[in-house]
Chain A
Amino acid sequence: MSLRNVRAYFWENPLLSLGIGRGSGTPTRAVDGVNLELKRGETVGLVGESGSGKTTLGRTIVGLEALTGGQILYEGQDIANFRSGARLRRLRKHVQMIFQDSQASLSPRLRVSYLLQEPYRIHEVPTGERHTVADLLGMVDLAADQAVKFPHELSGGQAKRIGIARALALRPELVIADEPTAGLDVSAAASILNLMQDLQDRFGLTYLLITHDLNVVSYFADVIAVMYLGRLMEVGPAKELFDAPAHPYTRALLEAAPDPQTARSIRGPRLVLSGEIPSPRNPPAACRFHTRCPFVQPVCRTRDPSPEEVGPRHVVMCHFWREVLSGEAIPSSSTGKESTR
């Protein structure tokens, strides 16, 4: 799948609810020009803070949000403008989503067995081609007796597995996982991640993993895409990003990810971002990250960096990525903070 200059804006306009008039005023630019390639069988980790637009991007791909501009090419076709029911429906068989709050994503008054067969009913899949409920439960390592339960009777881990099973029922090719470990205990999260990896090996799935925690993504992502205020700051092979991040934001995210080992040796990261992510309604001018960048220079406030190639399939949007990479960049005291200790 290819995303080209994808944009999703939201307007606040009460008239829109009446079906009259078009958007006007300042929109919230949740996704503002994203270019990304998803190769078959790969796992792409989409990371960023809350408010970076990553969830919106995921939802746009699945069709839950309307696209404002750009193209989403799937198997050669631009699916961005699939408005008609039939084409959208067929697409749904190939692209599925696992929601952050799995328990809430299950219809409360229906039993698990009914919910798992929903996708087949919706798409009118003949009985011969369906997986049985027991099959689906087995795929996610759940016993068949879970089928009679209602969603509120499931634990967090079980609900997540049911969400995965339901998403896989139609044998999709692309699965978008929104914060797959949110709300789960450490041990439950570990089994879910293991499960996801096993399923990927078994069915040849392509994942888009959306999360704010780099630890989660480090487990089996092949490619990492770092998103900030609607744009991708850095995209590249996971190994390269983890070992040698080129963008200051990537570096900050890496150092913020809690880790027993680094906590031990350093007792605190060296790079602490100050402030919080600005509102997508009012993104900073030029380089969006300049308000929080510890290496900010005057040019960052006036000229928007364009994507530059660091290596094969590795792109970064920063004026000074070479200095960041080589370690020559020195934090300026006005925005970035060095933590003592």
Chain B
Amino acid sequence: MSSAILDEQIVRRAGWRQSTLGRIVGRPGGFFGTAVVACLLVVVAFAGTIAPYSAAAQDIPARLQGPSWHHLLGTDQLGRDLLSRILFGVRIELKVAVPAVVAAWVFGEALGLVAGYLGGVVDNVLMVVMDTLQAFPAVILALTLLALLGPSLIDVIIVIAVSYAPGYARVTRASVLGVKQDTFVEAERALGAGKSRITFVHILPNIMPPLFILSAMNLPSAIATEVGLSFLGLGVQPPTPSWGVILADGFTYVEAAPWAVLWVALFLMVTTLGFTTLGERLRDVVDPRLAGSER
């Protein structure tokens, strides 16, 4: 009774800090994560303008140099500016990671919904399939698929999507099973709602939060996977400046000129940290129960 009144008074007096955006950015983790992601997006959009050189411009006399005024991060074995290559590489990474994660999400969620709501035989069959996929070590899976499909950007996306989909399916299914028992689902059934209505209108919106967070956490691993695959020569092929390719090139000359390896490692680390901290902050804000200790 009076608690509702108190809530109103509280909300009115609370400032911007209490809003969802404020809570995400307000804390160090969230701020850092958002900043990193924002920078990455800027780079994706404006790489052409920001990068001092093109990714392919060679300058053999200037090869394997360390950081200098002309080349802030140094050059690779063909004299290409490392900074520019890495910046263009951001596009490649996100061009692979984002569609892969989205595809995994969509397919995984669809399968999870079907398994969770229908239950019974369908559920068991689907889960067996998912378990099998997850049982393969990701690398073996990747190698097999790429051997079959041939190395290219699209194929890398498919491979990553396939390996992450079971994760989404499992989370979705677990959420659906949980929500299925809730009173409001019963109430809708009592009103006469059919299965599809209940699934899409009532269950789906309530299971979204964990999936968002899963994606935020999956993006950096997807990027890392891409880097690994390209490094092995199984993904994007040189001269496309995927970070894995840059890493592979730099690896050959690492003793003489470790710059490429260093900078890629640094960028990769910052990107991963950024997405992960943002994801954690999102998780804390969206569902405080999952958080360790909310301060």
Is A92 a contact of B191 with CB atoms below 8 Å?
Answer: yes
| CA–CA, A171 and B193, complex, Å | 17
Would you give the shortest CB distance from A275 to chain B, in whole angstroms?
A: 31
Is A92 a contact of B184 with CB atoms below 8 Å?
Answer: no
Given known contacts A104-B184, A122-B197, A155-B1, A19 and B121 CB-to-CB distance under 8 angstroms:
yes
Would you give the shortest CB distance from B228 to chain A, in whole angstroms?
A: 38
Q: Is A96 an interface residue (CB 8 A)?
A: yes
B193 — which chain A residues lie within 8 A by C-beta? 118, 122
Would you give the shortest CB distance from A123 to chain B, in whole angstroms?
A: 6
Would you give the shortest CB distance from B126 to chain A, in whole angstroms?
A: 14
Is A97 a contact of B190 with CB atoms below 8 Å?
Answer: yes
Stretch from A45-53, A106-114, A196-204, A332-340 forming part of the interface with B? A106-114
A230 — which chain B residues lie within 8 A by C-beta? none
- Chain A, residue nearest B189 (CB): A64
A92 — which chain B residues lie within 8 A by C-beta? 190-192
Would you give the shortest CB distance from B189 to chain A, in whole angstroms?
A: 6
Would you give the shortest CB distance from B203 to chain A, in whole angstroms?
A: 9
| CA–CA, A88 and B192, complex, Å | 8
Q: What are 16 A-B contacts defined by CB distance under 8 Å?
A: A19-B121, A85-B194, A88-B192, A96-B191, A97-B187, A99-B187, A105-B183, A105-B187, A107-B202, A107-B206, A108-B206, A122-B191, A153-B7, A157-B1, A158-B4, A166-B191
B194 — which chain A residues lie within 8 A by C-beta? 85, 122
| CA–CA, A173 and B209, complex, Å | 39
Chain A residues close to B by CB (< 8 Å):
17-19, 62-64, 85, 88-89, 92-93, 96-97, 99, 101, 104-110, 118-119, 122-123, 151, 153-158, 163, 166, 185, 187-188
Mark contacts of B109-152 with chain A using CB atoms, 8 A cut-off: 1 yes-contact digit, 0 otherwise: 00000000001110010000000000000000000000000000
Question: Which residue of A18, A122, A188 is within 8 Å of B192 (Cβ)?
Answer: A122
Would you give the shortest CB distance from B202 to chain A, in whole angstroms?
A: 5
Is B191 a contact of A64 with CB atoms below 8 Å?
Answer: no
The majority secondary structure among interface residues of chain B is helix
| CA–CA, A273 and B68, complex, Å | 91
B3 — which chain A residues lie within 8 A by C-beta? 155
Given known contacts A17-B120, A109-B206, A62 and B190 CB-to-CB distance under 8 angstroms:
yes
Mark contacts of B204-215 with chain A using CB atoms, 8 A cut-off: 1 yes-contact digit, 0 otherwise: 011000000000
A18 — which chain B residues lie within 8 A by C-beta? 120-121, 124
Q: Is B59 an interface residue (CB 8 A)?
A: no
B205 — which chain A residues lie within 8 A by C-beta? 109-110
B191 — which chain A residues lie within 8 A by C-beta? 92, 96, 118-119, 122, 166
Chain B residues close to A by CB (< 8 Å):
1, 3-4, 7, 119-121, 124, 182-184, 186-194, 197, 201-202, 205-206
| CA–CA, A298 and B36, complex, Å | 81
Given known contacts A92-B191, A119-B191, A105 and B184 CB-to-CB distance under 8 angstroms:
yes
Given known contacts A108-B206, A155-B1, A119 and B184 CB-to-CB distance under 8 angstroms:
no
| CA–CA, A161 and B119, complex, Å | 34
Would you give the shortest CB distance from A331 to chain B, in whole angstroms?
A: 40
Would you give the shortest CB distance from B116 to chain A, in whole angstroms?
A: 13
Is B1 a contact of A64 with CB atoms below 8 Å?
Answer: no
B7 — which chain A residues lie within 8 A by C-beta? 153
B182 — which chain A residues lie within 8 A by C-beta? 104
Is B192 a contact of A119 with CB atoms below 8 Å?
Answer: yes
- Chain B, residue nearest A91 (CB): B192
- Chain B, residue nearest A93 (CB): B192
Would you give the shortest CB distance from A207 to chain B, in whole angstroms?
A: 16
| CA–CA, A105 and B201, complex, Å | 15
Would you give the shortest CB distance from A97 to chain B, in whole angstroms?
A: 5
Given known contacts A19-B120, A92-B191, A99 and B186 CB-to-CB distance under 8 angstroms:
yes
B202 — which chain A residues lie within 8 A by C-beta? 107, 110
A185 — which chain B residues lie within 8 A by C-beta? 1
| CB-based closest 6 A-B pairs | A92-B192, A104-B183, A105-B187, A109-B205, A155-B4, A107-B184
| CA–CA, A214 and B194, complex, Å | 36
| CA–CA, A128 and B169, complex, Å | 42
Given known contacts A118-B191, A122-B197, A188 and B1 CB-to-CB distance under 8 angstroms:
yes
Would you give the shortest CB distance from B14 to chain A, in whole angstroms?
A: 15
B192 — which chain A residues lie within 8 A by C-beta? 88-89, 92-93, 119, 122-123
Would you give the shortest CB distance from A175 to chain B, in whole angstroms?
A: 11
A151 — which chain B residues lie within 8 A by C-beta? 184
| CA–CA, A104 and B188, complex, Å | 11
- Chain B, residue nearest A92 (CB): B192
Is B124 a contact of A118 with CB atoms below 8 Å?
Answer: no
A105 — which chain B residues lie within 8 A by C-beta? 183-184, 186-187
Interface contacts beyond A110-B202, A119-B191: sample of 15 additional A-B pairs, CB < 8 Å, sorted by A: A17-B120, A18-B120, A63-B190, A96-B191, A97-B190, A99-B186, A107-B188, A107-B202, A107-B206, A109-B205, A118-B193, A151-B184, A155-B1, A156-B1, A188-B1
A110 — which chain B residues lie within 8 A by C-beta? 201-202, 205
- Chain B, residue nearest A105 (CB): B187
| CA–CA, A99 and B189, complex, Å | 12
Q: Give the most central of B1, B191, B205: most A CB within 10 Å.
A: B191
A96 — which chain B residues lie within 8 A by C-beta? 190-191
- Chain A, residue nearest B11 (CB): A153
| CA–CA, A181 and B3, complex, Å | 18
| CA–CA, A284 and B194, complex, Å | 40
| CA–CA, A96 and B194, complex, Å | 16
Would you give the shortest CB distance from B197 to chain A, in whole angstroms?
A: 7
- Chain A, residue nearest B183 (CB): A104
Q: Give the most central of B3, B183, B184, B187: most A CB within 10 Å.
A: B187
A19 — which chain B residues lie within 8 A by C-beta? 120-121
- Chain B, residue nearest A90 (CB): B192
Is A99 a contact of B183 with CB atoms below 8 Å?
Answer: yes
Would you give the shortest CB distance from B81 to chain A, in whole angstroms?
A: 49
